[in-house]
Amino acid sequence: MLWVAIASPLDAFSGLLLSAHMVQHLLLLSVVPPLILLGSPLLPLLRGLPRKFAREGVGPFLTWPAMRRVGQTLTHPLNCWVVMAVTLCAWHVPAMFDLALRSSAWHKVEHACFLGAALLFWWPVVRPFPSRLQWPLWSVPVYLLAADLLNTAVSAILTFSDRVFYPTYLAAPRLFGTTALSDQTSAGGIMWVPGSLVFLIPAAVIAIQYLSPSHLLVRPREFNSARTVGSALLQIQNPALSSVGLFRQSKPTSLVAPKRFDLLSVPVIGPFLRARSARRLMQGVLLILALAVIVDGLFGPQVSSANLAGVLPWIYWRAFVVIALLAAGNFFCMACPFMLFRELGKRLGLRQRSWPRALRSKWFAVGLFLLFFWAYEVFSLWDKPIWTAWLIINYFLAAFAVDALFSGASFCKYVCPIGQFQFVASLVSPLEVKVRQTDVCADCKTHDCLRGNQHQRGCEMELYLPRKAGNLDCTFCLDCVRACPHDNIGLLAVAPGMDVVRDPQRSFLGRLSRRRDMAVLVLVFVFAAFANAGLMVTPISSWPDRIAANLNLSSTLPVTSSFFLALILVPFILVSGSVLAGRSIAGIKVPTFDLISRFSLALVPLASAMWAAHYLFHFLLGWDSVLPVFQRVLGHLGWAVSQSSWGGAGPLLSMNHLRILQAALLDIGLLVTLYLGWRIARVHAPKLRSALAVMAPWGSVAVFLYAFGIWTCLQPMQMRGLPNLMS
């Protein structure tokens, strides 16, 4: 009905015919609201929320006495009647009605007013669960009749007037042979007859119910006490209570916590992911694409937008990786084609050594991570297909060499910068490779998930599943799932980022708060997100060029200085400074580095949002970029498609919608970051004031990064060719 009222052709006619407009208003005032309220929407809405959020997030508001008073005042019959009457009369004043007809925005406001006022008006009549009856039942027919009197008065004015009230309809083209006055008369009739029936029928039904001796009426006192928001909330708080009194259910809810979502239990997807050949298939597809990128990068035109090496990795792959990480988990590592070369290296049968002890940390990977970002900015890797091709070739060679010479998954664990990016981002992924039932593992003596067995190798990353926490260092290879003889490992839904708050002792990794290498890796990940996006827009990217031009420098010094300033000095000063300031204000005694590590990890959601906003920008604007490139490649292979022209299908989202999406992503990122920061602050400073003191300086850094991200998203992207013109 709501759709019919505001989105169907009825809405299109409302600007031409007052009678159509009146039908629209009748639906909004008298049909949609009672139907919504009859659905008792509050409890289903609460039930639809995650149980914990309903209990701890929404619950305190619903049981807040001030909120209860506001609710009582708002839904008091007198207030409801007056609001409806004022709304009805005000919007039928010619000046107001014409304003709504002239302006689409005001028209929406008018409809919102009608719908809101009508929801309030029908509240005392329908009394949706769990509202209380504030006046005796006999007053409801009186309430409805009074409303009908007002409706009759307004509709009679429209029906019997000999002049047109709303000039817009005088100027509108006439339809179906009507005049503006006859149209107004019809509109008045619609408002009067069906409009009155909507009030009179429920009034009659309620009056009959009230007067009928055989009808069992709910006593007001019982009604009052039972049907409350609080009682509804109690149902959510404890399902066992539903068996008490009025909340008896036909099927009692179990006290056992609800089963977590497990992707491996989903039909089709679960069996596919478990199959040994599934991973090979995904790796094979990515390998073919990687080979295509290499060949086109080496031998195709050296124009990034016209080359597979310029399009597939930098527009598609990056976006898909980030989407997968935020929506599910580390699926790129699962399908990583470099792993195939690793396997090849292992099968050569060379004498494998242990990875050098000095490099058994993330420091080497952090260096490569920094080097990659630096090379990306300084050498414009995105714009050089041949460099992209060589980068991928070198990646294959490195994976092959490292795993041919060293045992275990040394390349993934200690070398691969892409892997480190995925590991950090997967801290906020909603899925985790996790033990289903811990008590099953307590009885396990073989530990196949770690050691493997004769059919399946165990975890090469040396993660022992019962002590594994979060997604760090997990490549989603699912070897552990296949190795577990108890089928006790799944891809379970988890609260993103919450293991950062707990800071548990993780298998192989230990406590993250004690890992300096991990903290630096995370900080590079965080600040690279903003630096990489910032260098995309002219106001930032022109700085190094200007400095170089002004100082007549031909070396890379200005760019490099800016880069290291953004990725090393600024993070160090901002994060360490803010955490130290908070620590000293709050007067808590926690090792400084532990605190810096923990708060650095809390910035990951915001950074992930920035990466997503950046990469989705490229993907959503250039989602069809690969079509002309494939067209060209197929043309070279002798297909006739290259002869046809292609004019671009346009962006998937308009720029305005894209900016809204980017802002929404950053909003979510900031809120999750602040929440994690708050929880960490409360762990170290149980007192509210101390927690606020710890949180405030670091929170300001998070807000600053958020503001920078929003500002970056609002800037026009830097343009090709301009540096030469400017210099």
Partner 1 sequence: MKRTSIRVQICIATASLILFGPRDTKGDGGVIRLRGTQGPFSVTLFSSPDVVAGGLADVSVLIQGRESGQVILDADVSLTLSPPDGLAMKQSGGLCGLPTAAMRLPDGINNPASVRATREQASNKLLYAAPVELDAPGDWVLHVVVSRGSDTARFDCLLPVTLESGKLTGVWPYVWLPPLAAAAFAVNQWLRRQSLQKRTSQPAVAQASATHGGTRDVLRRGIGP
Q: Residue 161's closest CA among 188, 179, 194?
A: 188
647 part of the interface to partner 1, by CB under 8 A: yes
Q: Which amino acid is at 91?
A: W
- Taking the C-alpha atoms of residue 57 and residue 399, their distance in angstroms, rounded to an integer, is 47
Instruction: Kindly tell me which of 271 and 356 has the beta carbon lying closer to partner 1.
Output: 356
For partner 1, give the closer residue by CB, 66 or 442. 66
The whole-angstrom distance between residue 122's C-alpha and the CA centroid of its chain comes to: 35
By the 8 A CB rule, do 140 and 211 touch? Answer: no
Residue among 290, 341, 340 at smallest CA distance from 317: 290
Which of 12, 38, 45, 74 contacts partner 1 by CB under 8 A?
74
556 binds partner 1 (CB under 8 A): yes
Q: How far apart are CA 36 and CA 120, in angstroms?
A: 11
- Least Å distance between CB 128 and partner 1? 10
466: contact with partner 1 by CB under 8 A: no
**Alpha-carbon gap, residue 607 to 668, rounded angstroms:** 11
Closer of 213 and 721 to partner 1 (Cβ): 721
Per CB under 8 A, the list member of 159, 541, 600, 690 interacting with partner 1 is: 541
Q: Provide the residue count of the chain.
A: 727
Categorise residue 650: left if φ over 0, alpha if ψ from -120 to 50, beta otherwise: left
* 632 contacts partner 1 (rule: CB under 8 A): yes
Select 449 or 610, whichever has its Cβ closest to partner 1: 610
Binds partner 1 (CB under 8 A): choice among 544, 582, 677, 697: 544
Residue from 229, 365, 566, 681 binding partner 1 (CB under 8 A): 229
Contact of 15 with 172, CB cutoff 8 Å: yes
Q: Under the criterion CB under 8 A, does residue 142 sit at the interface with partner 1?
A: no
Q: Residue 298 CB, nearest distance to partner 1 (Å)?
A: 15
CB of 524 to partner 1, least distance (A): 14
- Beta carbon nearer to partner 1, 50 or 57: 57
Place of tokens 């009608």: 114
* The residue to which tokens 């400073």 are assigned: 685
Contact between 136 and partner 1 per CB under 8 A: no
Q: Is 635 in the site for partner 1 (CB under 8 A)?
A: yes
Contact yes or no for 470/506 (Cβ under 8 A) = yes
If the CB atoms of residues 172 and 621 are measured against partner 1, the closer one turns out to be: 621
Please give the residues from 288 up to 307 whose contact with partner 1 meets the rule CB under 8 A: 301-306
Comparison of 332 and 382: residue with beta carbon closer to partner 1? 382
Question: Is 468 near partner 1 (CB under 8 A)?
Answer: no
Per CB under 8 A, contacts with partner 1 among 310-349 are 310, 314
Enumerate residues 494-513 that contact partner 1 by CB under 8 A: none
The 3-class secondary structure across 117-156, one letter per residue, is HHHHHHHHHHCCCCCCCCCCCCHHHHHHHHHHHHHHHHHH
Contact 409, 403 (CB under 8 A): yes
- Pick the closer one to partner 1 by CB: 95 or 725: 725
**Rounded to the nearest 5°, which phi and psi values hold at 419?**
-60, -40
Which residue among 144, 536, 588, 694 contacts partner 1 (CB under 8 A)? 536
Q: Looking at residues 350 to 369 of the shown chain, list those that interact with partner 1 (rule: CB under 8 A).
A: 356-359, 364, 367
How many residues form the binding site for partner 1 (CB under 8 A)?
116
Name residues contacting partner 1, limited to 11-40 (CB under 8 A).
none
Contact flag: residue 75 with partner 1 (CB under 8 A): yes
Binding-site member from 39, 230, 258, 510 for partner 1 (CB under 8 A): 230
Q: Taking CB under 8 A as the criterion, which residues in 559-578 touch partner 1?
A: 559-560
The secondary element (H helix, E strand) that includes residue 245 is none
Collapsing DSSP to helix, strand or coil, 454 comes out as coil
> How far is 367 from 307, CA to CA, in rounded Å?
29
Of 13 and 372, the one with the shorter C-beta distance to partner 1 is: 372
Residues 693-712 that bind partner 1 (CB under 8 A): 706, 710
Question: Which of 102, 455, 636, 687 contacts partner 1 by CB under 8 A?
Answer: 636
Q: Applying CB under 8 A, does 650 fall inside the site for partner 1?
A: yes
Residue among 273, 129, 140 at smallest CA distance from 205: 140
Backbone angles phi, psi at 195, to 5 degrees: -60, -40
Distance in angstroms (rounded) separating the CA atoms of residues 318 and 573: 29
Query: Which of 651, 652, 679, 683 forms a contact with partner 1 (CB under 8 A)?
Result: 651
In angstroms, the CA 392 to CA 396 distance is 6
Minimum CB separation of residue 99 from partner 1 in Å reads 21
Least distance in angstroms from the C-beta of 578 to partner 1: 17
Q: DSSP letter at 459? A: -
Nearest distance in Å: CB 333, partner 1: 25
Q: Write each residue from 377 to 406 as x if it is in contact with partner 1 (CB under 8 A), else as -, in one continuous string.
A: xxxx-xx-----------------------
Write each residue from 243 to 272 as x if it is in contact with partner 1 (CB under 8 A), else as -, in one continuous string: -xxx--------------------------
SS3 for 490?
strand
Q: What is the DSSP string of 493-536?
A: E--TTHHHHH---BTTTB-GGG-HHHHHHHHHHHHHHHHHHHTT
Please report how close the Cβ of residue 684 comes to partner 1 at its closest, in angstroms.
17
Cα gap 70→205, rounded to integer Å? 30
Q: Which stretch binds partner 1 (CB under 8 A): 324-332, 399-407, 565-573, 670-678?
A: 670-678
Q: Does residue 282 bind partner 1 (CB under 8 A)?
A: no
The yes or no reply on residue 648 touching partner 1 (CB under 8 A) is: yes
Range 704-708, long-range pairs (CB < 8 A, 24+ positions):
704/574, 705/526, 705/530, 705/603, 705/606, 705/607, 705/610, 706/606, 706/666, 706/669, 706/670, 708/530, 708/534
CB nearer partner 1, residue 8 or residue 139: 139
Both tokens assigned to 639:
């297909």
What's the min distance (Å) between Cβ of 312 and partner 1?
Answer: 14
As given in the structure block, the two tokens for residue 632 are 């060209």
Which one of residues 117, 409, 674, 705 is an interface residue with partner 1 (CB under 8 A)? 674
Rule CB under 8 A: which of 112-131 touch partner 1? 130-131
Nearer to partner 1, 71 or 270 (CB): 71
171 binds partner 1 (CB under 8 A): no
